[in-house]
Amino acid sequence: MIEKSLIDRLSPLVEGRVYFGVAPEGTAQPRLVIQTISGFTGFTLAGWDGSSDLTIQLSAWGESYLQALTLADEAFGAMTTDGEDFTTGAADRLPDEFEDDTKLFSVSWEYTLQP
């Protein structure tokens, strides 16, 4: 299961503050938030061909742009290291964000992963 592998790979970067979907209110910074964008499973006329992939958005959040950028770079290193759990087939940098209400910065990447 790629989702568990993501938590295992990324947790050491942020003392376990890795969340799917939305981080709980009041969560300490920095943190990582993962959102599933899409999944793909390959089929032939004979059924499932054994192939699959998962596309996720990984957002690094911090109290400063530099904190978010540094975490995103560290996460990029963890995500692009091939392992027995998954490999990264593609990585695209997304636009940076600033939330006016929380005063937090975000640097995000979209990754396509294969088991």
Looking at residue 39, its pLDDT comes to 81
Provide the CATH topology of domain 2-114. Answer: STM4215-like (3.30.2000)
* pLDDT, tens only, 61-75: 999 999 999 999 999
pLDDT band of 20, cuts 50, 70, 90: very high
Cα(72)–Cα(62) distance, integer angstroms:
10
Cα(41)–Cα(51) distance, integer angstroms:
6
Average pLDDT (81-107) is: 95
Residue 43 has pLDDT above 90, yes or no: no
Backbone angles phi, psi at 73, to 5 degrees: -65, -40
Please report, as a single letter, which amino acid is at residue 106. Answer: S
pTM: 0.90
Closest of 108, 23, 34 to residue 72, by C-alpha: 108
